[in-house]
Structure 1
Amino acid sequence: MTMKSVWLFAISMLVISISVTIRWIYRWRNPKCNGTLPPGSMGLPLLGETLSFIATANSIDIHPFVKKRMNRYGPLFKTSVAGRSIVVSTDPDFNNFLFQQEGKLVEMWYMDSFAKLLRQDTTAASGYVHKYLRHLVMSHFGVETLKNRLLPQLECAIKSRLQEWAKQPEVQLKDQTAAMIFEFSAKHMLGYEAERSWDHENMVGNLSNFLEGLMSFPLRIPGTAFYRCRQRQQKVMKVISELVEERMKWSNWDGGRGDFVDQMVEDMRTETFLTKEFASHVLFGILLASFETISSTIALAINYLSHHPSLLQQLTEEHEEILNKRRREGNPGPADGLVWEEYISMNFTHNVINESLRLANVAPGILRRVIKDIHVNGYTIPRGWAIMVVPAALQLNPNIYENPLTFNPSRWKNTGSNAKAKNFLAFGGGNRACAGAEFSKVLMAVFLHVLVTKYRWTKIRGGDVVRAPTLGFADGFYVSVSEKHA
């Protein structure tokens, strides 16, 4: 072959490579669709717009990734995040419709990173398995259990933890609250006792800020967010798996504790889908859900109350009136704790909790996968794509909530249930709404009750909110806690 032939061959291969690359980039930017896709950009090949999505924003407001695209494209736009084609929806009517289409047009779905860490068949269980898991959670964390058993246990655990805080010069509020919630949930679900041989600090630390890795590329490469998340998850899963295995042995000769694990072990005899691995992943997922979002919301509420003395005074008066009424009715004993009727009567407290949840928007989005082409507003969302509903886009929308970035609990005084259903997604929507929603609200209410009636606090430093894209505090949030009548 002559030199000229070599050059012609090389040039031909280069032209072909460029042509193939151009076609591939074109197909990436213009995905196939039996109709018209919503407007938007797919970003860079493979990477998509992931870097913009996970960029840190120093504001409580809607993350700039969503806000900029809402302003440019409207309430529906396409993008690509972590290697997946996604349509982002900020349309309350479409979102409400979507949540009613479970099993018809969409199904539960998570990012690949989330699914690989938590198992898609547990987190996105459907049909009978979903009903079983929901019933299991409700039976151990639902209203009846809260009324009859958990409410006094929660109050006792919170009192104990706040007593410890009062002995320390300062506490990192979000992390310490997460540890408190974890300890309570783990004890209720797993029979966890802090004095056992488990490494308590590492258990909490391995679960804290876990959401950081769930919205990342699922790359098992040292140094990546997903890799760190995977390492932490494996350590916690090992402990949980060993505990489940231990209970499975106990069940052959002991009546057990009657807790969450015992129920699952007992049901393994009749439910074929229940295996040790499946049960361990379920327990891990529920433990994670029980404290990560609640701790951030509590910290945000305390941060706002620190800056609004009049609202703190109103909250304190409501809870002191509960104690005064109890004394007037002849129940002054120190052993007397909150009862369900008192929790129901906390009107202003419920407003504070709703307002904190509205502003927190801890989870960046609620995901569904399209199982049949969806036609909406002249656009088509193809089968196989994902849809991300963004709660913050609704809950911080000035067209829905006046002065949406202002902490204003009174806005909830006359808010009807229909308005909440479409524009308040703190606990999801449809038949996938969080089964532990009432538990979360009770925990927050009891925490506020104990805090404002028995303690005062001073903000030491931190408290600046960031979204990346989940809610956090840039330099932590440190407070000093002291007893009121010390």
Structure 2
Amino acid sequence: METMLSSSSILDELTKINILAIAYSTLALLAIFIAHWTYKWRNPKCNNGVLPPGSMGLPLIGETLQLIIPSPSLDLHPFINTRIKRYGSIFKTSIAGRPVVVSADPDFNNFLLKHDKKLIEPWTMDTNAKVFGQELQNSKRYSRHIALNHFGAEAIRKLKLLPQMETLIRLTLDKWSTQDSVELKTTAISMTVDFASNQIFSGDLENSSSRIGNMYKDLLQGLMSFPINLPGTTYHKCMQVQKKVSGVMREALRKRMNGRAGRQQEEADLVEHLIKDMESMEFLSEDFAVQLLFGLLFVASDSVSTALAFAFKLLAEHPNVLEELTAEHETILKNRENPDAPLTWEEYKSMTFTLQVINEVLRLVNTAPGLFRRAITDIPINGYTIPSGWVILIAVSALHLNPDTFEDPLTFNPWRWQMGTGEEMQTCESSYHKISRWISLQDLKEDLIIKESTTCNPYTMD
């Protein structure tokens, strides 16, 4: 009996040892696999050359968290600034699980933009593509056309948008004057969304525009998040907001389509233009129309409100600029026969110092980290290679804050934009306009900047 018990105990011990051995072996293999995978992640291969220097960060996460942390100053974002000092103006990294090369080299950036569709193609982060719809990303030419048709310079002049803008701003300022304090960016979002929705829908969203403005604020927080659509995540909240806003716009679009017969021709707005084009253009589906309307209001809510908020801040900190700006506008009022007359196109065009202030605000306030593109072929640069398929982040802020182009680049100095004939002024104008116009409507104004480039470039196509 004792012998049988002893044998049974031995078998039990051997079984435990085998289980432990299997567990330890599995853990060891898993550790080896993770170590090997981590090594491959941090040291990606380039078949046709050497990758630019840099770090890929943590597996899957990469260096996304460092990029999305808000910058405490107007200087280059710390994520870009520290890596330029460490690796140079072109470096590799990983954002939201994607291998990325960041370029802060103005000449190389200009070279890339001049060869758009040959070396690179438009690309958006996975989050943006799902929020705004891939169809919209693939039909930017039409998006640009219809946006400029209703919000471009000619539209402002012919459709008499200036008086409407002036009325809205007067009403907003009157409302602000009754409050102890104003959260400027939030109220600016509401103001711009109200105006844009009225131009797009002609009042069809009158009872929803304020609610949409608030929802767009929540949407912004999710655009740089990881596309994990689980309850409680920022991305999930972002997608819920997208569904709600799109639902409101889809309902307004269908209501308009069903009631077009009785609508007056002079009331034609962007939605009316879109519906008319849907009758003759096959790619203009209802889903595309909703995505386009969603994207247009987002542009209005984000970039314009950010620029306005910073403009107020900069003017408050520079009373000499505010004084000259005020003097220019008071001169316009004094020259009027009727001081209460609405703003005219001629008066708007005469605001030379106002334009200088706007240029300087846009130079300092970068409303986006840069332009995302994807390499469609291997691209050699300074002895390195950007592999085909890699994402390229063109850091436009590096040009705006380049001391070789702008003297004292962090100084708010609208007078630097005065018309001049000196070489420095010509360089300033040319270099700035090569890229700056891509910022606020970068997804709608494809190909504009490429045609305006004037600076000689050392990079050439083979």
TM-score, normalised by the number of residues in structure 2 = 0.86
Which range is displaced more, 33-42 or 208-217? 208-217
Q: In the TM superposition, what whole-angstrom CA distance separates every residue of 1:431-454 from its partner, at most 9, and x where no partner exists?
A: 967549x9xxxxxxxxxxxxxxxx
How many pairs are equivalent? 425
Q: Is the 8 A contact 1:93 1:422 kept in 2?
A: no
What CA distance in whole angstroms lies between the structure 2 residues aligned with 1:12 and 1:221? Answer: 34
What CA distance in whole angstroms lies between the structure 2 residues aligned with 1:131 and 1:51? Answer: 33
Give the match for residue 478 of structure 1: none
The alignment partner of 1:79 has SS state of strand
Give the match for residue 81 of structure 1: 95
Give the match for residue 341 of structure 1: 346
Q: In the TM superposition, what whole-angstrom CA distance separates every residue of 1:11-63 from its partner, at most 9, and x where no partner exists?
A: 44344323322221121112231211111000111111112112233222211
What CA distance in whole angstroms lies between the structure 2 residues aligned with 1:227 and 1:420? Answer: 43
Give the match for residue 287 of structure 2: 277
In the TM superposition, 1:84-483 aligns within 5 A as 84-122=98-136, 124-125=137-138, 129-148=139-158, 149-192=160-203, 196=206, 198-208=207-217, 210-252=219-261, 254-255=263-264, 257-326=267-336, 331-334=337-340, 336-413=341-418, 414=420, 416=425, 419-423=428-432, 425-428=435-438, 435=445
Q: CA deviation at 1:321?
A: 1.0
The alignment partner of 1:367 has SS state of strand
The alignment partner of 2:373 has SS state of strand
Q: In the TM superposition, what whole-angstrom CA distance separates every residue of 1:362-394 from its partner, at most 9, and x where no partner exists?
A: 111211111112111111111111111122222
What CA distance in whole angstroms lies between the structure 1 residues aligned with 2:221 and 2:30? Answer: 38
The change in CA–CA distance for 1:193 and 1:251 in structure 2 (over 3 A counts) is closer
Q: Which runs of 5+ in 2 are unaligned?
A: 1-10, 449-462
The change in CA–CA distance for 1:158 and 1:7 in structure 2 (over 3 A counts) is closer
The alignment partner of 2:117 has SS state of coil
The change in CA–CA distance for 1:209 and 1:191 in structure 2 (over 3 A counts) is same
What CA distance in whole angstroms lies between the structure 2 residues aligned with 1:255 and 1:418? Answer: 49
Higher strand share: 1
Q: CA deviation at 1:7?
A: 5.1
Are 1:57 and 2:63 an aligned pair? Answer: no
Q: CA deviation at 1:241?
A: 0.8
Q: Is the 8 A contact 1:209 1:292 kept in 2?
A: no
Superposed CA RMSD in Å reads 2.4
Q: In the TM superposition, what whole-angstrom CA distance separates every residue of 1:159-199 from its partner, at most 9, and x where no partner exists?
A: 222222223333222211221111111000112367x4x34
The change in CA–CA distance for 1:338 and 1:435 in structure 2 (over 3 A counts) is farther
The alignment partner of 1:210 has SS state of helix
Give the match for residue 41 of structure 1: 55
TM-score, normalised by the number of residues in structure 1 = 0.82
The change in CA–CA distance for 1:366 and 1:421 in structure 2 (over 3 A counts) is farther
- Choose the corresponding residue for 1:25, options 32, 38, 50: 38
What CA distance in whole angstroms lies between the structure 2 residues aligned with 1:433 and 1:193? Answer: 25
Q: In the TM superposition, what whole-angstrom CA distance separates every residue of 1:91-127 from its partner, at most 9, and x where no partner exists?
A: 10111111122221111111111111011220x22xx
- Relative contact order (alpha carbons < 8 A, sep ≥ 6): 1 or 2 greater? 1
What CA distance in whole angstroms lies between the structure 1 residues aligned with 2:438 and 2:70? Answer: 24
Give the match for residue 6 of structure 2: none
Q: Who wins on radius of gyration, i.e. which is larger?
A: 2
The change in CA–CA distance for 1:245 and 1:92 in structure 2 (over 3 A counts) is same
Q: Is the 8 A contact 1:183 1:192 kept in 2?
A: no
Question: Which amino acid in the other structure matches residue 386 of structure 2?
Answer: I
The change in CA–CA distance for 1:140 and 1:96 in structure 2 (over 3 A counts) is same
